[in-house]
Structure 1
């Protein structure tokens, strides 16, 4: 399958601890010619720093961009959208991290509370029915609050390299189909 190139710049927003070389976000960054958000500290994240990192990546993109976020990056984008509603053209939110869940690591608690306002741009949320960092009911609730279209993956864990999602060609096809539908509308 030949994938279409998005009609706007692409920014990759990784989650906590970044996305390594085997992670699908790193593969997609190359495949889509995307910019990657650079944060000061991937292991001791601070919301203000992460918002600044996303802002810098969007500045470098030069125009509203498609943001492809994973895990804590999804929550970062939801916070960013409240402050800068016109900097993002669309978003794909994969396996959002529930920073408010019982037992959430202390390092990510500063990203709560999770914004519950609709995102001011089209968004697709891809969730797994067995994500250890965001229960299915919570992912469905976030999609509803954010006004995101929701796609479920069965047994996909946290949709990262550890759960077998390296290049994740099927995800790229989901992105392509969703963009084609959004652009046709």
Structure 2
């Protein structure tokens, strides 16, 4: 790390609307209250299924940051981060990649179809190792990604895998708001 500067925390949410009781929102607020610099990639108001639009959104946020960053991504935000990392460079000290969806297997009802994901550029999912340290968090009963498929993504990306039990998709819809372990994992990434 350059000097003692702590990296800016960049929150990369999924495709759904921001929710006040989502763990990412809570973590962003807690870290900000503790004096950390936190930037959240804003939700898209149009082209919400477009991979290119989501990646451009990350590019725009990263362009406003001087110095190192640490990414905290959830759900489709993980896929946005992985797609961004293929073509863009920044001083990324690490990435917490929580409950990535399996975009190469049909998702549950109410989510984009395989055809939509392909049409909007999400598949195939990049499988090369990420150019920065990362932790992939897997749920044993995530409706959007089986533990085996998520473990395969972690392996391909060169990420450490952390299994956190039966927490659904680790979001308010599956009964989860605060997730204190996120801050522990962020700290582990910061201190290597």
Q: 1:160 to 1:42 in 2, by over 3 A?
A: farther
Count of residues in Structure 1 that have an aligned counterpart in Structure 2: 177
Q: How much does 1:178 deviate? A: 4.1
Contact 2:78 2:100 in 1 (8 A): yes
Deviates more, 1:118-127 or 1:78-87: 78-87
Matches within 5 A, 1:138-149: 138-149=149-160
Deviations 1:88-124 (A, max 9, x none): 2211000001111124623544311110000000101
What is the aligned partner in structure 1 of residue 92 from structure 2? 88
Contact 1:16 1:43 in 2 (8 A): no
Structure number with higher helix proportion: 1
Structure 1 residue 65 and structure 2 residue 63: aligned? Answer: no
Deviations 1:46-70 (A, max 9, x none): 1111111101111122223111000
Q: How much does 1:176 deviate? A: 2.3
TM-score when normalising by structure 1? 0.87
Of 51, 54, 57, the residue aligned with 1:53 is 57
Contact 1:17 1:42 in 2 (8 A): no
Deviations 1:139-170 (A, max 9, x none): 00000010001100110110112223212113
TM-score when normalising by structure 2? 0.84
| Unaligned stretches of 5+ residues in structure 2 | 33-37
What is the aligned partner in structure 2 of residue 153 from structure 1? 164
Deviations 1:118-137 (A, max 9, x none): 00001011110111000111
Matches within 5 A, 1:6-155: 7-33=6-32, 34-41=38-45, 44-103=48-107, 105-106=112-113, 107-109=116-118, 110=120, 111-155=122-166
Large movers: runs of 4+ above 6 Å = none
Query: Matched residue of 2:64: which SS?
Result: helix
CA distance in 2, matches of 1:58, 1:21: 23
Contact 2:62 2:90 in 1 (8 A): no
Contact 1:13 1:36 in 2 (8 A): yes
Query: Matched residue of 1:92: which SS?
Result: strand
Contact 1:66 1:89 in 2 (8 A): yes
* Alpha-carbon RMSD: 2.1
